[in-house]
Structure 1
Amino acid sequence: MTNPYQINTEKLQEIDALIHDLKKEQLIWLNGYLSGKINGINNDNIPKLANVKTVSEKITILYGTHTGHSKEIALDLYDRVRALGFTPALKALDEYKKNDLKKEEYLFLIVSTHGEGEPPIQAEDFHEFVLGKRAPKLEGTKYSVLALGDKSYKKYCQTGVDFDEAFKKLGGTPIVPIHKADVAYEEVAGKWIEAIAGELKEIQPNSNQATSVENSPVTKKKFNRTNPYYAEVLEKVRITTEQSEKEIYHVEISLEDSEIEYQAGDSIGILPNNPVDLVDLIIQHFADDAERIVHVGGKDLSLFRALQHKLEITVLNREVIDKYNQIVKNKNLTALLENEDALDKYLYGADAIDLLEDFPGEITTDEFLTVLRVLYARLYSISSGPSQNPEEVHITVASVRYKHKKRDRNGACSTYLSDQINVGDHVPIFIDKNELFRLPAETDKPIIMVGAGTGIAPYRSFLQEIEQNDKNTNSWLFFGNQRFKEDFLYQVEWQKYLQKGVLNKLDVAFSRDQKEKEYVQDRLQQNASEVFQWLENGAHFYICGDKNNMAKDVQDSLKEIISAQGGISAEKADEYLKKLKKEKRLLLDVY
């Protein structure tokens, strides 16, 4: 029989949150206070602890994220600020009340930039508000911004820069200057957090409390780009035939004893080795010694090892080319940097040896090493469900091989996995959270999944979760590849899910099996009426694959379907799509 006087779980959680940071002496005092309440004693007579002060400063941490990185950093900052004895507020930008902005004393914002300078969906409204005429004055606000971005884009970290400039214009005072972080963001984020902690220590009124809390462990050590977990490869199987133009592998990796957890929709990051032949070409270009010791990333190691394991040499970006040209001062390269279209065309497929050969100049090996970026992890959509595979993670990898300027090229990570890694070997990994590519929280909501090639990966994860947890989810899969016989990835599994009712509908498009090419967007158009009806019934629509072609074409087709089936204009169809995104019902995992 339930005790009618027992406090419910929700109330207990509230109480626990209130007393979470109290010291032993404060808990003893609180015990006496409650005893007095029970026995009707006037609590004014209960002795009060000396030197117990409250931190009154209002601290708010906001984040705007596309995949979840900003949220992850916000949580790290939240823990760090709490460790100093403060009680900060933590909010996503789409949950934050705009009217509260004028009340902020200390405001810390972590925000990513999506695409070419666009704010993530989560930050769109707040971005418009802060840059608009209704934004309040912030003379009493101290703030700092951490901007996440990708230097391969022209408008690097633009959203964070927008917020920083707007806060400054509104009268805010930057307590720590804006920090910008590239794809490998952990080091910059860590420095930003510590800079903020250093400033907040100056206003901490109770140093004794801060010291005792600060020295206690707040969060367990995490695996990330700078601290990967070395996981064993359990299985590696090619899942396209030898006749296929695509070389695609299914790879299974052990997480046993790692305590690593993931969710359907997440990605795995793998730190690769660069292709040996490209490393050799660079060393030969400089006529240098592969075993000569160089200093890279704070470590002394051989030139060969630095180029293979530590530096990015298979792809270039504007920053690398600009830094290189500051040393060599090549007139042709200067002209290229002034022509955005020509630069974009050159960057596509170019690597480090191209830069050295196409735009020669006086530069030493060691100078060239300072030009190159740190070798960054490659992300692969996880193709296994965590409920079905709690101690494993599966990925679907297409080997990238192509010829450019009469030289064979290899993708750094895909060929590392296909050519260098065997079953039993260990690879450095970490989980990359993707909060905006999840199954619906309400299991009765239908889902439409669209993927081409390896874009099928997360849907295998979704369906494994649906099967394992007996979810009543109507699901419809659109899959495209080149040829039915050679490239139908996981065909047997989809048939099994259809028979079990885990997958309700399957439409496929194999572009090279007939004279006129057919793609997934054509299958969507052929099922336009039903697709629209599913959307009207609350379906979540997922797109996974190439962002420049497939994902764009699918969204264009979806817009046409909405316009035609809904009997509305193209402009209204645009609004429909934006509404789907804001409701987190149009979700993209693109690369």
Structure 2
Amino acid sequence: MTAATLSPLPEDKQPLVARLVEGLDVDALHWLSGYVAGMAAQRQTSVKGAAVEPIAPAAEVQARLTVVYGSQTGNAKRLAEDLGRRVTAAGLAVRVVRADAYPVRELKQERLLYVVISTQGDAEPPDDARALVEFLGSARAPKLEDLRYAVLGLGDSSYPQFCAIGRQLDERLTSLGAHRLFATGEADVDLETVAQPWLEHALQQAREQLKTSAPSAKVTPLRTARSSPIWHREQPFAAPLLLNQRITGRGSDRDVRHLELSLEGSGLRYAPGDALGIWPTQSPPLVDAVLKALQLEGDAPVQANGEEHSLRMWLSERRELTQLTRPFFAAHAERSGDDHLRELLSPASRDALSHLFSRWQVLDLLQRHPASWTADSLVAALRPLAPRLYSIASSQSVVGEEVHLTVSHVDYSLDGEARWGAASRYLAARAEGESASVFIEANERFHLPSDNDRDIIMIGPGTGVAPFRAFVQERAERGASGRNWLLFGNPHFYSDFLYQAEWQQALKSGQLHRLDLAFSRDQADKIYVQHRLREQGRRVYDWLEGGAHLYVCGDASRMARDVHKTLIAIVTEHGNRTTEDAEAWLNQLIQQGRYARDVY
């Protein structure tokens, strides 16, 4: 008689357990057995049939810190968990909760709350925090006179509404009667500059607020503590380039590359849906142009952040040059004395400034509105260079110690002068055998369903198709029985059909069950993925009603918004719902993890 025969598990669940424990070491298996035993005990003692987690006793809440995070790319999650580890090490009780898992009914009982939340695009919350932000902004939100709180906002100052969601939550909590413990942090893409002091202050305040509690708090982690990987964001792996291939045709105005890098010997692991972080360096011609525009010497020594390097090195490896930011724009406006630049910083000029930021780089501002900068002041004013994240286009269970990317080389002309993107040019210029500095950024909200019987709908125009190449590879490797449906779009069929041969083979082999295409410029009327989505509205709704997972990857400013509007229209029409009910239904899918977006 086999172990499988003795198992009380249903037959369809036994392979899932085997897959779960595959590759786990002894410590992880011991932790998992204890965690599952704890779950069993909790269910055994709970009321039969009850599915609602009991509200924590008031005494427990008063002696505990709650950290809620809303994260789109993983940065807010990483900082929240870092704070949780610091508080735990200090012997204090803490729970770290993703926003969509936070029981809002407990909010009125909270006494100490920290919120770490990012702002996406033009003042939008991350997907996992949408419901919480809406709840706090509604009439249902309770009075919070007994709550003490602090907010750490994450954002990108190249967008006019920098850290808007963090500010919004801070103001709303105050209006509900809560007491702000210290100023809201507003961290730019170079997170650590603001985040680390904020975390230190947060820990100090937690000690003060919880000093009456027991000196040694018992903390029950929700997941096993993992040892830090050798290679990470602050210590990237030098991955040799195996392949750098253009996959758009000669007639295309887009240069899209398929890149394959080796992770051999790194120990790095990733899942479909995760991202690869790239630490780029600035192109030498761009650095030369900035030095020339400011009449500065590249060899000039500059001290900053406790380090000393030449100005050229700072500009090449440590400072952002291809993206304008509001703080640098404001500093340059003051130095130039240009009234027009100052006017652009006013609230009334928000749209004009946003349009300018979408076109100009640092060099364009320096050339068109001259001002005097010293080497030291320039390095101090420019934003630190940050890594770029690219959706991984491969399944590691298929490609092994490799990672594949789909990268659009940003290379254009502005008023007759060449401009390019930092990371895309860095990658496009790599020759096979040369290395790129990389790390893995997990994106748990964009992973495949654990149930292989679930259908999935993938919407990925342009390079947004990258993670879905990984999805289809992984589902085929798993032998998943669920159907796979891809909607892909780009300008032209003959020159811009990315991975055409692979998709056609996947259809032929049954790994892909449906493929809808939208080539916008192959006819007089432009056709985009949202149009194909609307044409298949009945089928889309039926798949979702049947439990399918929906994924959207690509442009946040236009495509993702248009797709979401189309989904609302589909649910309204085919689900016989009002617009408000359709939006609520889609929000439920988001909270359930069945509607996930990886947008940028």
Instruction: State the Cα deviation string for residues 345-383 of structure 1 (Å, max 9, x = none).
Output: 222211112112222234334323322111122221110
Q: Say yes or no: does 1:460 pair with 2:482.
A: no
Give the alignment partner of residue 488 of structure 2, picking from 449, 454, 479.
479
- For residues 173 and 395 of structure 1, do their structure 2 counterparts lie closer, same or farther at Cα, with a shift above 3 Å needed? same
- Considering only CA atoms, is the larger Rg found in Structure 1 or Structure 2? 1
Per-residue deviation at 1:459? Answer: 0.4
Q: Is the 8 A contact 2:160 2:353 kept in 1?
A: no
- For residues 136 and 543 of structure 1, do their structure 2 counterparts lie closer, same or farther at Cα, with a shift above 3 Å needed? closer
Alignment of 1:24-103 (within 5 A): 57-103=63-109
Alignment of 1:104-123 (within 5 A): 104-123=110-129
Give the alignment partner of residue 403 of structure 2, picking from 376, 381, 393.
393
Q: Which residue of 2 aligns with 1:149?
A: 155
Letter in 1 for 2:315: L
Q: Is the 8 A contact 1:79 1:218 kept in 2?
A: no
* SS of equivalent residue, structure 2 residue 561: helix
Q: Is the 8 A contact 1:55 1:86 kept in 2?
A: no
Q: Which residue of 2 aligns with 1:282?
A: 290
Q: Say yes or no: does 1:235 pair with 2:243.
A: yes
Cα distance in 1, alignment partners of residues 342 and 478 from structure 2: 58
Normalised TM-score (structure 2): 0.82
* SS of equivalent residue, structure 1 residue 196: helix
Instruction: State the Cα deviation string for residues 387-442 of structure 1 (Å, max 9, x = none).
Output: 223422110111111111221211111111112x1222221222222233222233
Letter in 1 for 2:265: D
- For residues 56 and 509 of structure 1, do their structure 2 counterparts lie closer, same or farther at Cα, with a shift above 3 Å needed? closer
Cα distance in 1, alignment partners of residues 581 and 276 from structure 2: 37
- For residues 92 and 571 of structure 1, do their structure 2 counterparts lie closer, same or farther at Cα, with a shift above 3 Å needed? closer
Per-residue deviation at 1:340? Answer: 1.9
Q: Which residue of 2 aligns with 1:49?
A: none
Q: Which residue of 1 aligns with 2:25?
A: none
- For residues 218 and 68 of structure 1, do their structure 2 counterparts lie closer, same or farther at Cα, with a shift above 3 Å needed? closer
Q: Is the 8 A contact 1:267 1:380 kept in 2?
A: yes
Per-residue deviation at 1:151? Answer: 1.6
Alignment of 1:275-354 (within 5 A): 275-338=283-346, 339-354=349-364
Q: Which residue of 2 aligns with 1:12?
A: 34
Alignment of 1:575-586 (within 5 A): 575-586=584-595
Q: Which residue of 2 aligns with 1:124?
A: 130
**Which structure 1 residue ranges, 4+ long, deviate > 6 Å from structure 2?**
1-4, 8-11, 14-17, 204-210
Alignment of 1:245-264 (within 5 A): 245-264=253-272
Greater CA deviation, 351-360 or 527-536? 527-536
Q: Which residue of 2 aligns with 1:523?
A: 532
Per-residue deviation at 1:292? Answer: 1.7
Per-residue deviation at 1:172? Answer: 4.2
Q: Is the 8 A contact 2:484 2:513 kept in 1?
A: yes
Cα distance in 1, alignment partners of residues 381 and 439 from structure 2: 27
Normalised TM-score (structure 1): 0.83
Alignment of 1:543-562 (within 5 A): 543-562=552-571
Q: Which residue of 2 aligns with 1:541?
A: 550
* SS of equivalent residue, structure 2 residue 359: coil
Letter in 2 for 1:290: G
Per-residue deviation at 1:80? Answer: 1.9
- What RMSD in Å do the two structures reach over aligned CA positions? 3.2
Give the alignment partner of residue 457 of structure 2, picking from 440, 448, 465.
448
Q: Which residue of 1 aligns with 2:190?
A: 184
* SS of equivalent residue, structure 1 residue 80: helix
Q: Is the 8 A contact 1:66 1:435 kept in 2?
A: no
Q: Is the 8 A contact 1:149 1:156 kept in 2?
A: yes
Greater CA deviation, 117-126 or 365-374? 117-126
Letter in 1 for 2:163: C
Instruction: State the Cα deviation string for residues 501-529 of structure 1 (Å, max 9, x = none).
Output: 21111122333444544332333333333
* SS of equivalent residue, structure 2 residue 447: coil
Letter in 1 for 2:564: Q
Q: Is the 8 A contact 2:336 2:370 kept in 1?
A: yes
Q: Say yes or no: does 1:379 pair with 2:389.
A: yes
Per-residue deviation at 1:318? Answer: 2.4
Greater CA deviation, 195-204 or 172-181? 195-204
Per-residue deviation at 1:171? Answer: 5.0
Per-residue deviation at 1:276? Answer: 1.9
Letter in 1 for 2:319: L
Letter in 1 for 2:457: I
Greater CA deviation, 83-92 or 168-177? 168-177
- For residues 486 and 155 of structure 1, do their structure 2 counterparts lie closer, same or farther at Cα, with a shift above 3 Å needed? closer
- For residues 558 and 162 of structure 1, do their structure 2 counterparts lie closer, same or farther at Cα, with a shift above 3 Å needed? closer
- For residues 408 and 581 of structure 1, do their structure 2 counterparts lie closer, same or farther at Cα, with a shift above 3 Å needed? same
Cα distance in 2, alignment partners of residues 399 and 317 from structure 1: 22
Q: Is the 8 A contact 2:190 2:383 kept in 1?
A: no
Q: Is the 8 A contact 1:328 1:361 kept in 2?
A: yes
Instruction: State the Cα deviation string for residues 44-66 of structure 1 (Å, max 9, x = none).
Output: xxxxxxxxxx9993222222223
- For residues 204 and 427 of structure 1, do their structure 2 counterparts lie closer, same or farther at Cα, with a shift above 3 Å needed? farther
Q: Say yes or no: does 1:492 pair with 2:514.
A: no
Which stretches in structure 1 are left out of the alignment for 5+ residues?
18-53, 211-216
Q: Say yes or no: does 1:355 pair with 2:365.
A: yes
Per-residue deviation at 1:107? Answer: 2.3
Cα distance in 2, alignment partners of residues 473 and 209 from structure 1: 45
* SS of equivalent residue, structure 1 residue 436: helix
* SS of equivalent residue, structure 2 residue 467: helix
Cα distance in 2, alignment partners of residues 480 and 137 from structure 1: 47
* SS of equivalent residue, structure 1 residue 94: helix
Q: Which residue of 1 aligns with 2:56?
A: none
Number of residues of Structure 1 aligned to a counterpart in Structure 2: 545
- For residues 58 and 547 of structure 1, do their structure 2 counterparts lie closer, same or farther at Cα, with a shift above 3 Å needed? closer
Greater CA deviation, 572-581 or 274-283? 572-581
Q: Is the 8 A contact 1:266 1:434 kept in 2?
A: yes
Cα distance in 2, alignment partners of residues 130 and 553 from structure 1: 26
- For residues 119 and 391 of structure 1, do their structure 2 counterparts lie closer, same or farther at Cα, with a shift above 3 Å needed? same
Per-residue deviation at 1:283? Answer: 0.9
Q: Say yes or no: does 1:417 pair with 2:427.
A: yes
Per-residue deviation at 1:250? Answer: 1.0
Cα distance in 1, alignment partners of residues 375 and 531 from structure 2: 51
- For residues 478 and 207 of structure 1, do their structure 2 counterparts lie closer, same or farther at Cα, with a shift above 3 Å needed? closer
Instruction: State the Cα deviation string for residues 267-321 of structure 1 (Å, max 9, x = none).
Output: 1121112222221111112222222212244321122221121111112132221
Per-residue deviation at 1:135? Answer: 4.5
* SS of equivalent residue, structure 2 residue 291: helix
Q: Which residue of 2 aligns with 1:45?
A: none
Cα distance in 2, alignment partners of residues 154 and 12 from structure 1: 48
Identity %: 38
Cα distance in 2, alignment partners of residues 319 and 172 from structure 1: 30
Q: Is the 8 A contact 1:444 1:472 kept in 2?
A: yes
Cα distance in 2, alignment partners of residues 206 and 310 from structure 1: 45
* SS of equivalent residue, structure 1 residue 374: coil
Per-residue deviation at 1:110? Answer: 1.5
Cα distance in 2, alignment partners of residues 125 and 147 from structure 1: 17
Per-residue deviation at 1:132? Answer: 4.8
Q: Is the 8 A contact 1:286 1:365 kept in 2?
A: no
Cα distance in 2, alignment partners of residues 167 and 569 from structure 1: 31
Q: Say yes or no: does 1:429 pair with 2:435.
A: no
Cα distance in 2, alignment partners of residues 208 and 431 from structure 1: 35
